[in-house]
Amino acid sequence: MSQESAGQRLPGQGTGPQLSGVQTLVLIRRSLHFAWPFRLQIGVKILLSLLGVFLVLFLPWPAKILIDHVIMGIPVGDSHTLYPPYVMPFVDSLAGLSPYGILASIIAISVVGMILIGGFGTGGSQDRTADGLAQGLDTATQSENLANESSSSVSGLLGLFEYWYQLRTTHRINHRLRCVVYGRMMSLPMIHFADTSIGDSVYRVMYDTPSISRVCYDIMVLPVISLALLASVIWTMQYSFSDVPSLVMIAWLAAPLTLFTTFLMTGVTRRRAIASRTAGAGTTANIEEGMSNIIAVQSLGASDKQLKQFEAVSDESFKRFRMYSVMPILLAVLQGSVVLGLVFYVFFDVVDALVDGRMSPGDYGVLFAYFIQIATATSGLGALWFNLQNSVTGMQRVFQVLDMAVDVDHHGDTHLTEPVRQVQLENVSFTYPDGSIALDAVHLEGHVGEMVALVGATGAGKTTLAYLIPGFVRPTVGRVLFNGVDTRELDLGSVRDQVAFVFQEPVIFDDTVANNIRMGYPEATDSEVREAASTAGALGFIEDLPLGFETSLGRAGSTLSVGQKQRLAIARGLVSRARVLVLDEPTAALDAETEAALMTALAIERKRRLLIVIAHRLSTIRSADRIVFLADGRVLESASHDELMANPDGAYRRFVDLQTAASGTSDASEKGDSP
C-alpha cells in the first residue's frame, strides 16, 4: 500500500489491550448509560421477574399442606412451623375444611399455577435464546445469539409474556447499538480503514455489539432478582424455621462464599475472553480477505498458501476459545462444591429437627425447594462478575470504535450560503500517522470553469491532495478554503455536497445500473441518468444488458469489466450537482475512442464545474487549464501544458519525454503540441 493510502489500524486488533478491574467498571458504567433510554422497558422486565419470584416462593407451601394436613392428618392450626404472611391467606381459607376439601383446594390452586407459571414451556428456571435458537459454543455464535437474549424464571402465560417482552426489548437495544456503531464506522476518516481489516469491522458490528444485552441484564436485572429471591428466602427461613438456627446461618453464608469463588477467577477469565474475541476477529478477517481477492489468489496459484493461513488462524481461534471455555467449568465445580458442602453440613440438623418434632415432614419439601432457590440465586450472583468478563471485552471493542474521532468532529456547523466558486489549498502539509510526509507546503487554487490536472510519479501525493478537498483527510498544517472560508468551519455534509469524487478503483454497489448512477444524486431524472451514461461512454453496454438501466449488477458489479465499471463511476460523478468534480485516473481503463469522447464531454462540463483530474495519460491532461506537477509531496511546477513544455529542463518536460519514449513516439512536435 502506498503512502497515499496508508492508514492506521483500529485499536483492539492484534492481541488487544488488557483490561483492569477499574477499566471493567468504567465499561459497565458506559454500557448502562447507553441502555438508560430503555430503563422503562427494563423496569417492566424486573417487575415481571419479581412476580415470578413470588410465585416460585409460594409453590412449595401447598406441597407442605398436602403432606402435613392431608396425608399426615395434622390439623391446619397445629403446624410445627409458622406459615409466612404471604401464605397465610391461603392457609386461613382452608380452616374447617375436610382433608378432601383441602385436597380440592390444592388441586385448584395448582391448576391456576400451572396455567400462570407452569402449563406451557419447560417450566422452572429458564435461560433461553429467542425461539429456541441453537446455541453454538463459539464466541461469535454465542455473541450473535445474545442479540436475541430472552429468559424467564417461570413458564405458563406469565413466562411467555415475560419472554416475548424481554425479546422485544433486547432487539431494540441491540438494533440501536448496531446502527450507532455502523454509522460511526461509516463516518471514520478513510485512512483508518486503509490498514484495518474489513472482517474485524464486521466482527465488531455483528458479534461484539450483542454484548450490551448481557451487560444490561446482568447488571440491571439479575442482581435485583437474585437479591430479592435471596432476601425473601432468608427472611422466610428466619420467620418459619427459627428453631433450626443452622438453616438461617447457611442461608446467610451461601451468597458470600459463592461470590468469593468467583473473584478468584475473574482476571484470567477476562484475559482469555479478550484473546478469544481477537482470534475470532482474525479468522473473520482472513476469510474476508481471501474471498474478496479470490481471483488473484487463484491466478497466482496461491490457494494452498491461503488455505494454510486460514487453517492457522482458525486453529488459533478454536484454541483460544477452548482456553476460555474451561473457565466456566472450573467456576461451576467451585460453586457446586461450596453449595454441596453447605447442604451436607445442614442435613444432619434437619434430620434431628424432624426426629424431635421441631419440623414436620412437609417442611422438608419446603426446605429442599428453598435450598435449590438459594443455590440458583447465589450461583447467578457468583457468576455475574465472572460472565461479565466476556461481555465487557466485547463492549471494549465497541467503545473503541465509538471513541474514535470521525470527520464530522473536526468540522463546524456553518453552511455555505452559495455554491462553491473557488477552492484554495493554502500552505497545506499532511503527515500520515506513521510519520510519512505525503504533502509539504502545497499551494493550489482552482475556480469553477477550470480544469486542473494533478501530475506526478506514483507516491507523489496526488491522491492525498485530492482527498483534502472533500475532507477525506484533514491537513496537518494549512487550510482548505471554499469561497475563502476554511472548510473546518463548515458543516461536513455541506462540504461533501459540493464535491463529487470518482475514485481510481471504481466502486459499484449491489443495485441496478440506474441506482448506481444516481448514488450521488438520488433525485436525478431518467433522462439525466441516461445523458450522464452517454457522456461517460456507458450507454452502449448498458443497453445491451438484459434489463438495461434496471439490470441488477450484483456484488461489486462482478459481471462488468473494469472499463465498464469505470464508465459507470464517471457517469455517477457527471450526474451529480456538485460544483467540484474530482476524477482520479478517469481514463486509465478506457479505450482511445471512449477517452476522446469523455474529454470532449469534460470540456463542456468544466463550464459549470471545477474539474480536478489526476492522470498519467498525456492525452488526458494536455487540455487542462493548469497542470500541477508534484514530486515527493511538493509542487514543483504549475502552468499550462504549452508553458511547461517550453522549459527544456523542467520536471514536467522530462515526464513527457519519458512518456513519449515509453510509447515509442519520438516526434518532437508532439512534445510541444499534442503528446
Q: What is the DSSP string of 43-96?
A: HHHHHHHHHHHHHHHHTHHHHHHIIIIIIS---GGG-SSPPPTTTHHHHHHTTT
- Strand duo 610-614 + 451-456: pairing: parallel
Average pLDDT, whole number, for the chain? 78
pLDDT given for residue 7 in this prediction: 37
Q: What is the pLDDT of residues 338-358, one digit of tens each?
A: 777 777 777 777 777 777 777
pLDDT-derived band at 672 (thresholds 50, 70, 90) equals very low
Given a cut of 70, is residue 16 above it in pLDDT?
no
Q: What is the pLDDT of residues 506-554, one digit of tens each?
A: 778 888 889 888 887 888 889 999 988 888 888 888 888 888 899 888 7
- Note the Cα 80 to chain centre separation in Å: 59
- Cα 86 from Cα 91, distance rounded (Å): 10
Mean pLDDT value across residues 284-291: 66
Q: What is the pLDDT of residues 247-269, one digit of tens each?
A: 777 777 777 777 677 666 666 77
- Cα 167 from Cα 130, distance rounded (Å): 7
Given a cut of 90, is residue 414 above it in pLDDT?
no
Return the closest-CA partner of residue 653 out of 642, 662, 644. 644
pLDDT given for residue 43 in this prediction: 92
pLDDT given for residue 155 in this prediction: 79
Cβ-based neighbours of 525, under 8 Å, separated by 6 or more: none
Q: Looking up cell 482474525, which residue turns up?
A: 282
pLDDT given for residue 132 in this prediction: 41
Q: What is the pLDDT of residues 189-231, one digit of tens each?
A: 766 665 566 777 777 888 888 888 888 888 888 888 888 888 8
Counting Cβ atoms within 10 Å, is residue 254 exposed (0-12), middle (13-18) or buried (19+)?
buried
Given a cut of 60, is residue 489 above it in pLDDT?
yes
Here the cell at position 655 is 515526464
Query: Is 0.85 surpassed by the pTM of this model?
Result: no
Angle between helices 526-535 and 562-575 (to 10 degrees): 130
pLDDT-derived band at 1 (thresholds 50, 70, 90) equals very low
Q: Looking up cell 428453631, which residue turns up?
A: 243
Given a cut of 50, is residue 3 above it in pLDDT?
no
pLDDT given for residue 142 in this prediction: 63
CATH of domain 26-402: 1.20.1560.10
Tell me if 120 sits within 8 A of 155, measured CB to CB: yes
What is the Cα Rg of the chain in Å? 36
pLDDT-derived band at 8 (thresholds 50, 70, 90) equals very low
Query: Collapsing DSSP states into helix, strand and coil, what is residue 112?
Result: helix
pLDDT given for residue 119 in this prediction: 46
Mean pLDDT value across residues 304-326: 76
pLDDT given for residue 13 in this prediction: 45
pLDDT given for residue 629 in this prediction: 92
Mean pLDDT value across residues 624-645: 90
Q: What is the pLDDT of residues 133-185, one digit of tens each?
A: 444 455 555 666 677 777 787 778 888 898 899 889 988 998 899 888 888 88
pLDDT given for residue 134 in this prediction: 44
Given a cut of 60, is residue 666 above it in pLDDT?
no
pLDDT given for residue 263 in this prediction: 66
pLDDT-derived band at 320 (thresholds 50, 70, 90) equals confident
Given a cut of 90, is residue 373 above it in pLDDT?
no
Mean pLDDT value across residues 32-47: 91
Q: What is the pLDDT of residues 93-111, one digit of tens each?
A: 888 888 888 889 888 888 8
Given a cut of 70, is residue 39 above it in pLDDT?
yes
Share of the chain above pLDDT 90, in %: 7
pLDDT-derived band at 120 (thresholds 50, 70, 90) equals very low
pLDDT given for residue 675 in this prediction: 37
Mean pLDDT value across residues 68-79: 81
Q: What is the pLDDT of residues 557-596, one digit of tens each?
A: 667 888 888 888 888 888 888 889 998 887 776 677 777 7
- Cα 622 from Cα 220, distance rounded (Å): 68
CA distances from 106 to 54, 95, 209 (A): 18, 13, 47
